[in-house]
Amino acid sequence: MMNNRKEIEISNDEQIRNFVKTNPNYYINEFNKIGNSSRYVFSFNFNTFLLGSLWYSFRNIWNWALAFLIIETFAVVQIVRGFFGNISADAYVKIDKIKSTIEFRQKQLEAAIEKNSDKVEMFERTIKSLEDSIAGYVMEAQRIEALGFWIAIGGILLFLGIRVAQAIFANSILEKRYSEWLSDKTIDPGMHIKNYTLSISFAFVIILFSTIHYSFPNYMEIMKDFPTHPDIRLKSIAGVEGAFDYAVIKGEKLFDAITYGIRSVLDSLELLFVKTPWIVIISSIVLLTGLSAGARAAIYSGAFLAYMGFLGFWIKAMTTLALLGTAALLSIIIGIPLGIYCSTRPRFYSFIRPIMDFMQTMPAFVFMIPVIAFFGTGKVAAVIITMIFGGTPVVRLTVLGLKGVPQNIREAAIAYGASKWYLLTKVDIPLATPTILAGVNQTVMLSLAMVVVASLIGAKGLGQDVLEALQYANVGQGILAGIAILFVALLLDRIVQGKKRV
């Protein structure tokens, strides 16, 4: 038993040696103290006190290294500013500007005196006011300069304090990283030439340029603004516009075909919702909601529709439903098959995932620009913008649902001779249906979030009332229209979820 324990201790010590690489005996002792106690164990690493944040970056603990480097840089800046820096530079710059203004006013005063103008007193008062301002800035500069010593002392105290804190935390942090390394040997413990080079170079750049910029504001003009040239921006704008012009000309038939397809679906839904008698629409939606979500949800849906009708939002609400229905329907028709395809082809999914990230993170007003360039303004462009913003969740959640199907169930179906089509339609999709429906729900909700934005390019509907309320500060109209949009969202949510509520 004793021999086994010694072998384990020797093995553990060897692991620590392989991890820390330098001064192993010290770290073996400290790691054992920390690991064998359930309470906090005080430990002070003198090397960390000397090296500071470099010690952490040498050992590839960059999250702590960056945090400590920022504080150290601030402390160094305060020390240099206090002892050597031109901390009153801003005040003297203002003084120089005021002096040049006084010279200009003096010339105006002399000209007014020669012409015996009635503005002489005004110029004299102005010059007196400017001279008083100079006196105030001079006093401010002297006060700031007098504080220089104490600024430096504060920087020294902060620097020593953060070094002590780093030295106290160092061994505990390194021991925790060692524990992670034991279970995952892909973690790089650092202490390589690349760590030394990168750490010293990075710290040197951060500390040097920060100190120069804040301590000697006018020493390096290049630090004030990023070095660029207006021609770069102008040429980039011209290049983007040229590319879009070329795409519009060459892709005219394609864009016309897309417009025709979307317009056909949109016109059909508008005819269904807007032209059909209101009592038919209400009865159908209430019945559909009742079958999908239960009697209580049906009562709520009837109340929501009555609210829209009595407040005069009926036609606009139906127009909004038609637009959202078109965008959501097309997103679902495209998204679910695309998600099924991506679930079996990881490479293709890894290719389109950044595209979907771009679609979701890019602000709507940005991708509105190319859509308008290709399709103009109006309802078709609004549908496309809504699809871009809201179409990705159904793809992602379809992939997630299909990948989450238990493998043992699929293997059992295959063992019984299931074909690929049978496996997809009778096993994978039924088991993934709840996740897919969640994706459909998210697509519908995100599409609804674009109602007001889409109204900016002529989508009309309830979003137009909200937009007008914003333009003319009509609080009542905006609130009532917003509530109507909320009710449309709740209706769609209850219908799409398809869960019985008693």
b/e per residue 87-106 (b: at least 16 CB within 10 A): bbbebeebbeebeeebeebe
Which whole-number Å values give the CA distances from 169 to 46, 53, 259, in the listed order?
Answer: 11, 12, 63
pLDDT at 56: 93
pLDDT band with cut points at 50, 70 and 90 for residue 296? confident
Lowest mean pLDDT among 83-87, 156-160, 269-273, 354-358: 83-87
**Model confidence at 430: pLDDT above 80:** yes
Lowest mean pLDDT among 2-16, 60-74, 302-316, 335-349: 2-16
Q: Cα–Cα distance between 198 and 215 in angstroms, integer?
A: 25
Please state the rounded mean pLDDT for residues 182-188: 86
Phi, psi (5° rounding) for residue 365?
A: -70, -20
Which residues touch 133 (CB under 8 Å, ≥6 apart)? Answer: 98
Taking alpha carbons only, the member of 444, 273, 316, 463 closest to residue 382 is: 463
pLDDT band with cut points at 50, 70 and 90 for residue 6? very low
Lowest mean pLDDT among 51-60, 135-144, 268-277, 344-353: 135-144
pLDDT digits (tens, 9 = 90+) for 151-172: 888 889 999 999 999 999 999 9
DSSP-derived secondary structure for 222-233: GGTS----HHHH
Lowest mean pLDDT among 135-149, 279-293, 334-348, 452-466: 135-149
CB 109 within 8 A of CB 123: yes
Higher pLDDT, 145 or 411: 411
Side-chain-facing half-sphere of 22: CA atoms under 13 Å: 9
H/E stretch holding 327 reads helix 314-344
Q: Cα–Cα distance between 426 and 423 in angstroms, integer?
A: 6
pLDDT digits (tens, 9 = 90+) for 479-490: 888 888 888 877
pLDDT at 500: 43
b/e per residue 241-269 (b: at least 16 CB within 10 A): eeeeeeeeeeeeeebeeebeebeebbeeb
Please state the rounded mean pLDDT for residues 52-71: 92
Which whole-number Å values give the CA distances from 99 to 90, 105, 135, in the listed order?
Answer: 14, 10, 11
Q: How far apart are the first and last CA of the chain?
A: 65
pLDDT at 473: 74
**Model confidence at 36: pLDDT above 50:** yes
pLDDT at 223: 67
Superfamily assignment of 248-497 in CATH? MetI-like (1.10.3720.10)
Which residues touch 483 (CB under 8 Å, ≥6 apart)? Answer: 307
pLDDT digits (tens, 9 = 90+) for 195-221: 899 999 999 999 888 888 877 776 766
pLDDT band with cut points at 50, 70 and 90 for residue 8? very low
Percent of the chain with pLDDT over 70: 91
Alpha helices in 345-428 (DSSP H): 346-361, 364-375, 379-390, 392-403, 407-415, 420-422
CB 438 within 8 A of CB 397: yes
Residue 313's SS3 state is coil
pLDDT at 7: 46
Which residues touch 82 (CB under 8 Å, ≥6 apart)? Answer: 147, 148, 149, 150, 151, 152, 153, 154, 155
Residue 209 burial (CB count, 10 A): 13
pLDDT digits (tens, 9 = 90+) for 84-111: 766 666 666 677 777 777 777 777 777 7
Could you state, in order of their start, the residue ranges of all structural domains in the chain? 2-85+150-223, 89-146, 248-497
